[in-house]
Amino acid sequence: MTPILIAGPGVEPVSVAEMRAYLRLDDEAEDELVAALITAARLLVEAACGRQLVEQTWRILLDRWPQGRILRLPLSPLIRVDRVRVFDASGAPSDVSAALYRVEASSDPPRLIVDATAPEPGLAAQGIALDVVVGFGASAGDVPATLRQAVRVLVARWFEHRGDEIDEAAPLPSTLELLVARHRRARL
């Protein structure tokens, strides 16, 4: 199962202006750096909790339907499934009717349950493509406050310690762990 980002978030969970106020910066001289740090912090928080923060579109590629035709999606929270396609032996795609699958967005992980009559792919690899929209919502305000604060904490830490050597193997700061813990995706 291969997830590929199709369209990233239209906004970040924390705006540059909001972060500038948090950092107590009076001018816009370092806005480009702050914006880059916000994006990096969002990506790290997403990885730490196993959830996408702001609405984004992904394509998930599969070789074949899983056994039992219950597909556990690797991304969450799921907003919607936009499209399910199966490729025939020549590589031509055909849409799978929404009547042939059911979405369980509230499951963790979200699931797609495919009817037994849905077509099988004709390609040996990447014969199925799903386009999904994930995230807590389209605006920064849709992101839980603790996850937005985790982004702020990381940006502030990185902003204050620019150029300092960082131990790549070190765990996340304990404050960040606490902020993210409630939203972390359980792993079995």
pTM beyond cutoff 0.85: yes
Domains of the chain: 7-53+138-181 (1.10.3230.30), 56-134 (no CATH)
- The dihedral formed by the CA atoms of 114, 115, 119 and 125, expressed in degrees to the nearest 10: 30
Encode pLDDT of 26-40 as tens digits: 989 999 999 999 999
Give the pLDDT confidence of 55-113 residue by residue, as tens digits.
999 999 999 999 999 999 999 999 999 999 999 999 999 999 999 999 999 898 999 99
Q: Which residue has the tokens 């502030």?
A: 156
**Mean pLDDT, the chain, integer:** 91
- Higher-pLDDT residue of 163 and 79 is 79
Q: Which of 128, 120, 141 lies closest to 18, judged by CA? A: 141
Q: Quick check: 28 and 15 in contact, CB under 8 A?
A: no
Ranges of beta strands (E only) in the chain are 2-7, 56-62, 70-72, 78-87, 93-95, 101-104, 111-114, 128-134
Beta-strand ranges (E) seen in 23-182 are 56-62, 70-72, 78-87, 93-95, 101-104, 111-114, 128-134
